[in-house]
Amino acid sequence: MNVTVTSENKGRILIAEVPETLEELLGLLENFNDYEAEFYEINALKRKKEFITVRILMNILMQQTVIITYDNDHKPLLTNNGELISISHSGNWYALVSSRHSQPGIDIEQRTRRVQAVSKRFLSENELIFLDGNKLTEGMEIAWSAKECIYKRVGKRAYDFHTIQLSPFQASECGNLTATFRPDNTQFSLHYRQNERYTMVYSI
Distance CA 138, CA 177 (A): 14
Q: Which of 6-10, 82-86, 101-105, 123-127 has the lowest mean pLDDT?
A: 6-10
Three-class SS state of 146: helix
pLDDT at 203: 96
Q: What is the DSSP letter of 102?
A: S
> What's the whole-number mean pLDDT along residues 83-97?
97
Find residue 198's DSSP bridge partners.
110
| In the chain, where the domains are located | 2-101, 108-203
Exposure letters 90-121 (e unless 16+ CB within 10 A, then b) = bebbbbbbbbeeeebbbbbbebeeebeeebee
Q: Which distant-in-sequence residues (6+ apart) come within 8 Å of 113 by Cβ?
A: 137, 141
Three-class SS state of 74: coil
Strands 174-181 and 186-194: antiparallel
74 pLDDT more than 90? no
User: For the whole prediction, is pTM greater than 0.75?
Assistant: yes
- For 2-101, CATH gives 3.90.470.20
Q: Considering the chain, what is the average pLDDT of its residues?
A: 94
pLDDT at 107: 98
10 pLDDT more than 90? no
Q: How does pLDDT run across 27-61, given as a tens digit for each residue?
A: 999 999 999 999 999 999 999 999 999 999 999 99
pLDDT at 147: 97
